[in-house]
Amino acid sequence: MHRRVTVPARVNIIGEHTDYGQGLALPFAINRYLVLTIKSCESGYSGDETVIALWQALGGPPADLTVSSEIAQGKGMSSSAALCLAIVLGKYGNINLLEACKKAQSLEHDVLNTPCGLLDQMAIMYAKSQHCTIIDFSTMEVKYLDLPENWIFKLVDSNIHRNLSEMNYNSHNDFLKQHLISENQRVKQAISAKPETLGQLLNQSHDSLKQLGVSTQEVDSLVENLQQTDGVLGARMMGGGFGGMILVLVENDAVLPNYLPVVSSRAPLLEEL
């Protein structure tokens, strides 16, 4: 076996902390990649300790495992999901999309000790270039929406690193049901929204996530400053919470000139070498 698996990161436009509540989400994959190369060997395993543990958890045979990644860890861009999906695809090949997602989720639960839902895995596996996916976690149905050219997103790093395996980030507090209802409604509104309306929805989403208890004062301050910046239509924390990237919707490329617009990507690529 000599395989290379290239897996993109993902951005979630709206629909945060909804996957484990059978809700809705609107993500798309972006052009930052993790690359796993697997080369069989006669005996033993070489590579990063975590990568080896994930590979062995699936019963992977002796191999040299090499990972290179442009996906920053602990930033809300699905670095752990990308790694687990790469391991699954490297082991099983091009299997059923949802089956690959569930196997990768199990690895996150059992090996990485991250109590994640299926947002990241499905956002990546079902990705189509120039499209975002509308995921309904109550049915696991996926629909596609052309990514409007005037939805211009940038990512701003809060420089607050967090490890979700150490966070009780999907605790079912009293506000969760209210968040799910309002966030699902925001996803539905976002599907046909003009940029100005979508920006308002992002701001509302952050307010709800703040009440849910998955943000921090430092992140809230950064988000508020961004929301008040000329040319910014909306901003919110992204991912599991407690730090990481802030998603910012801007009027045009010139807004926040130190940051590049994110570019959509296709689904993972499996190559036989």
Q: Which stretches within 111-191 are classed as H helix?
A: 119-125, 176-190
For residues 201-213, average pLDDT: 94
CA geometry: angle at 195 spanning 260 and 216, to 5°? Answer: 65
Q: How far apart are CA 133 and CA 142, in angstroms?
A: 6
For residues 110-138, average pLDDT: 95
Does the pLDDT of residue 165 top 70, yes or no? no
Q: What's the chain's average pLDDT? A: 93
Q: Which residues make beta-bridge pairs with 34?
A: 7, 69
Its sign, for the CA torsion 106, 108, 112, 117, is: negative
Q: How far is CA 156 from the centre of its chain?
A: 15
Q: What percent of the chain has pLDDT over 90?
A: 84
pLDDT digit string (tens) for 64-87? Answer: 999 999 998 877 778 999 999 999
Number of residues that this document lists for the chain:
273
Q: How far apart are CA 250 and CA 256, in angstroms?
A: 8
pLDDT digit string (tens) for 18-65? Answer: 998 899 999 999 999 999 999 999 999 999 999 999 999 999 999 999
Torsion of the alpha carbons at 57, 59, 62 and 67, rounded to the nearest 10:
-50
Closest by CA to 21, choosing from 128, 149, 171, is 171
The answer to whether residues 153 and 262 touch, using CB atoms and an 8 Å cutoff, is: yes
Give the contacts of 90 (CB within 8 A, at least 6 positions apart): 3, 5, 36, 38, 55, 60, 270
HSE-up (13 A, CA, CB side) for residue 3 = 18
* pTM (2 d.p.): 0.92
